[in-house]
Amino acid sequence: MTTLGGREPATGEPHLDFPGPSTPYIDYQCLDVLFSLQRPLSDAPAEPTFYILGQVKELLFKLLYGELCAVRGLLDGDDVAQAVWTLRRTRRVIELLTSTWDVLGTLAPTEFNAFREHLGQASGFQSYMYRMLEYVLGNKNASMARPHRRVPHVHEEVQEALQAPSVYDAALHLLARRGADIPEAVLARDLAEPYVPHVAVERAWADLYRAGPGDDMFELAEALISVAEGFGRWRALHLLTVERIIGNKAGTGGTAGVDWLRRASEHRFFPELWSARSLL
């Protein structure tokens, strides 16, 4: 006897036999391909931890970039409720991303040094997906696209992200459509240039906060600042983890190591959302 659709009645037991040479889960998740992509360059016992966590971070960068592009589109379409919902999920993904440093922080300096030379000039700042993530969040710096110019398809994607509006741009345009006095110099700025905070934008966010909870724009402001805070935590823990493992040595890829990361950790996405709090 079969149920509607030709399926056997549920017995509570998992299916253990499948037609074909594979199983649905292996095929759905492309596990054979996924597990073939780990290629450490040394025999150091700790390198697989560093290597695989690096790939996990890249996948989470991709997920975050896609979610934030979706948020940008939702704000453009005035769907604030769905944008807020997606931003809340995004914050959870950022927390997962940040937790990767808790694992990497278990590497002793000697364990990292056992394979560090195999990295050569490879460095995390060369991650093009992370660069696109920074761009969609609004940290526009054209010079940081240069490492990708020799890989045409990657360079094209990075340049598109550089020149596209950020989530914050979309939020400011929405704020203007809701009646806030956002200067034209902000709304019509060169999107590939670094964002310059403006006192009028700061006042607009402060006015929104003074109106209090109950407004969807208030919910949006809090969802945005939650994402910005999450990235602040990511950067702070990145700095601490690197300092714990390599001290003040130069980083790979020519960076100044912890000094570079310390400067980066001072950056805040959505700057007027932070500074507006001083006006309240």
For each of the domains in the chain, give its residue range(s) and CATH number, in order of start: 50-279 (1.20.58.480)
Burial tier of 14 (Cβ tally within 10 Å: 0-12, 13-18, 19+): exposed
What's at 1, amino acid-wise?
Answer: M
Long-range CB contacts for residues 140-148, cutoff 8 Å, separation at least 24? 140/166, 140/191, 140/192, 140/193, 140/194, 140/195, 141/194, 142/192, 142/193
Q: Name every residue whose Cβ is closer than 8 Å to that of residue 233 and which is 6 or more positions away in sequence.
A: 94, 98
Higher pLDDT: 176 or 5? It is 176
Q: What average pLDDT does range 36-62 have in this prediction?
A: 97
pTM value is 0.91
Q: In this structure, what token pair is assigned to residue 113?
A: 């040094």
Long-range CB contacts for residues 99-106, cutoff 8 Å, separation at least 24? 100/53, 100/56, 100/57, 100/60, 101/234, 101/237, 101/238, 101/240, 101/241, 102/237, 103/49, 103/53, 104/49, 104/50, 104/53, 104/241, 104/245, 105/237, 105/240, 105/241, 105/244, 105/245, 106/49
Q: What average pLDDT does range 9-14 have in this prediction?
A: 72
pLDDT confidence of residue 1: 40
Poorest-pLDDT segment among 1-10, 57-66, 89-98, 134-143: 1-10
Q: How confident is the model at residue 249 (pLDDT cuts 50, 70, 90)?
A: confident
